[in-house]
Structure 1
Amino acid sequence: MRKASYILITIGFIFISCRNDELKDNVWIGEYSTNDDREYYFSEENLISFENEEWVAKGVSLNYGEETRYGNQGMFSEQIVFNEDWTEEDPIEIYDIQTVGGDSLVLRSPNSDNFHVYRKLSEIAKRSENIDISGKQYVWSNNNFTDTIYFKENFEVLRKSSVQFSAPWQRIEFSGYDILFMYGDVPYVIQRKVGDTIFAKTFHKENIEHKFIELNKNVW
């Protein structure tokens, strides 16, 4: 009986170690959160990484907060705990690692049917130059649509396709990645600028390439 228990513990330890090796030194960008019945989909405005045996995460001011958060994972556990010494301003976050495979990481909220889907970022998505978008207007295009967008200096974003559309925007740096958030949307990875064109990418079930071509005249 004791030998069988030891074997099970050893197998469990090897399984968790292998899983952590898949997570190690990678950065994961939020895609969406939903529940088992797929009754809703919300953008996951958060980034997470596993570095030096420690979990690190960062979100935006309106979702998760913009302060860097640090989490722990027990040696024989597949549960991640952020803000263990929590306060009302910084509530505790607990996630179970559900699956890790390929470029996908799924975290589940304990005792809940809610889960969060993340995608692994490639090293080539890192940005090496300083790109300023504040106060500028762009033609924004991808394979699905073309629009005009204005990143106002007060961190409000406007889209020409909808005079009703107005939302906060925010940029953060995380492990060498330049991330643009437009509240209620998935995170955008700003990759490079060539001439007047900024290239960015979002990570859905299919990766989507975006171009932002700067306008020289005010269209608002």
Structure 2
Amino acid sequence: MTAELSILDLFLQASLLVKIVMLILLGMSVASWTMIIKRSQVLSRAKAKATRFEDRFWSGIDLSQLYQEVQARKDSLTGTEQIFHAGFKEFARLHRSNGKAPEAVMEGTSRAMRVALSREVDELETSLPFLATVGSITPYIGLFGTVWGIMHAFIALGAVKQATLAMVAPGIAEALVATAMGLFAAIPAVMFYNKLTNQVSKLEHNYATFMEEFSSILHRQAFASNQE
């Protein structure tokens, strides 16, 4: 409790600019933690949904039936479901209109799935650039507040005849709080940026692997139909 009161006292005694710096850092820290929690939840759900859908996909179900199930909730599709939906829809459309040219059918199908994959990865990466920004700039913002606070303390010290350490210490301490707040905002942002980016990379690899496996299945169907 005493430490908390001391920090509060230091904030209240700081100059206006240092107070603004501290408030900016506090706001960025709160925003980054909010995004960290939300992104962690989104990526956890995406991983669970991908696992469930792939289990359903490889269960031996007819692809047309699976497509109908997915089509029924097309407005809420994400991840591998969205890639499957985009690929099968384009495959069926091209196969009906251009069934004698399986290469063209597969080229269009692959293109549709790549577009879906790119959109899904972009969605997963939402807010990650903000975390990277917080991690890179908040130490400098805190350092700016520290430099300004120390400069302000020494200017005030120069106005008195007899300077003592007790007179300058509070000003330096309140300035250093800005550096501490900058690190408090930056360290979690950098740590979770790396962690979440790694999770996105794993999901992207999972999506890409599924896309290739699904393309192989459709490729066999396209060329088998062409030989009949």
Name the TM-score class by shorter chain: under 0.3
Identify the structure with the greater helix proportion.
2
TM-score (norm 2): 0.23
Select the structure with the greater relative contact order (CA < 8 A; seq sep ≥ 6): 2
Structure 1 or 2, whichever has the larger Rg, is 2
Identify the structure with the greater strand proportion.
1
TM-score (norm 1): 0.23
